[in-house]
Amino acid sequence: MDTTYATLFSSTGKRTLFGYTNFFIIFQNLVTFGLLGWLSFGCESSTETASPPPNFVIIMADDLGYGDLDAYQTPHLDSLAKAGLKFTDFHSNGAVCTPTRAALLTGKYQQRVGMEGVIYVRGETRETGLDTTQVTFAELLRQAGYATGMVGKWHLGYHPEYNPVNQGFDFFRGYVSGNIDYHSHYDNAGIYDWWDGVDTIQEEGYVTDLLTQHANTFLEEHQQEPFCLYIAHEAPHWPYQGRNDPADRFPDTNFNALGSREDRRGAYQEMVEVMDESVGSVLSTLKRLNLSQNTLVFFCSDNGGVDSLGNNGFLRGHKTQLWEGGHRVPAIAYWPGMIDAGTTNATIVSVDILPTLLSLANSQLPKNFVTDGVDFSKLLTEGQTPETRTIFWRYRDQWAARQGDWKLLVQQDSTYLFNLAQDISEQHNLTATEPERVKSLMDTLQNWEAIMDQVLQKTQ
């Protein structure tokens, strides 16, 4: 147990969130036994202080499939899952990169903030980005006194006005496109894409290692104040390159966007395992700085694994699809002394992160702030599952609605209904036997879509 912070424990040995609960129990007992005078005397010589606000480290993998952690050597993430809370029913809001990141940061459906599709390195979408009028969890936490930092993949706008430092982050080191060469740091259009804030910077190194280095430096520099660090890994997104592979991308040259290495499976495995090393390094830094017991570490992926190399386990589908394999992803929450080790089947999505962080920070959401997420802080600290709600997905010509165990999926002219508690692999279409449930979910989905379309029109 860290002794750096005032960590009060309950009778179960589990710390209370801000250290107040045990104080009032003790106070009540002192009054009962007529010892209030002793308490007054004690207060003159010693002042009890509450624990400081918790720190947050959000780690997001890129294209990591539901079964990828079981397929490769990931000892640090395995240990994290064993010591923390493992989610079996966590979902990305999008089936691709940009939408999920927009939802994560804003606490709103990506449709509500005009980020429903991918921002590509070429074409019209390159001129777009997350509107700076949108409020991110970084902005809200900074207003609450937190130092905020981001390393890694942004993918919410190329132009400086959309840069992370203009969206609530005090510090940013990484790239703004969807993917870069792990060594030369050129994007898919042959444009150099490695940034220190709003300025490009020349820096040699393998992307995963650089992110780790800057993440640890941020922790060192802000160990004396509340902080929120967002680590957005490139791995295991293509190009498929290991630490010792050559750079493939340079300006004014033809290159294979996926990378030149023939053994892509081997490269993919190495990328996952090096990312696992990065997680271990960050956890080691937190422990060395005596920050572990006051820091929530949350790990997840931005969407399901790709069709060719990703491992989505027993789930049907993959990245870009709204089958479970496209958006049910690995997720782990770790906070020693506050989160009990175990597994939860609560249905949680990326959009829930923002209200949960604000709740744990004991900070109120601004007046008139709209969030589509739910606060699952009590799931983390007390094991209370949030109430059942309807969750929605939309990407291109696919729609889905989830209510409890039931999932409606619409693709072009086909409609599917699944009971995920009995059929997580989505093999048995129940539309013929559950017509009333289909109609109810379809009506709910269409109402949601009408609302989102109205909002989307206003953002365009």
Catalytic residue numbers read 97, 155
- Burial environment of residue 63 by CB neighbours within 10 A (0 to 12, 13 to 18, 19 or more): buried
- Residue 74's closest CA among 266, 275, 209? 275
- The Cα 181–Cα 97 span in angstroms is 17
- On the CB side of 43, CA atoms within 13 Å amount to 8
Contact 363, 356 (CB under 8 A): no
Q: Residue 404 carries which side chain, given as an amino acid letter?
A: G
Distance of CA 367 to the CA centre of its chain: 24
CA 302 – CA 69 distance, rounded (Å): 15
Would you say 172 and 151 are in contact if contact means Cβ atoms under 8 Å apart?
yes
Please name which of 270, 262, 240, 252 lies closest in space to residue 179, comparing C-alpha atoms: 240
First to last CA, the chain: 51
| Sheet hosting strand 414-419, strand order edge to edge | 390-395, 398-403, 406-411, 414-419
CA atoms within 13 A on the CB side of 128: 18
| Percent helix, percent strand, percent coil in the chain, to nearest 5 | 35, 20, 50
DSSP state letters, 26-70: HHHHHHHTT-HHHHHHHHHH----PPPPPEEEEEEESS--TTHHH
Q: CA 238 to CA 247: how far, in whole Å?
A: 13
CB under 8 Å to 100, separation ≥6 — which residues?
Answer: 92, 93, 94, 110, 302, 303, 350
CB atoms within 10 A of CB 358: 22
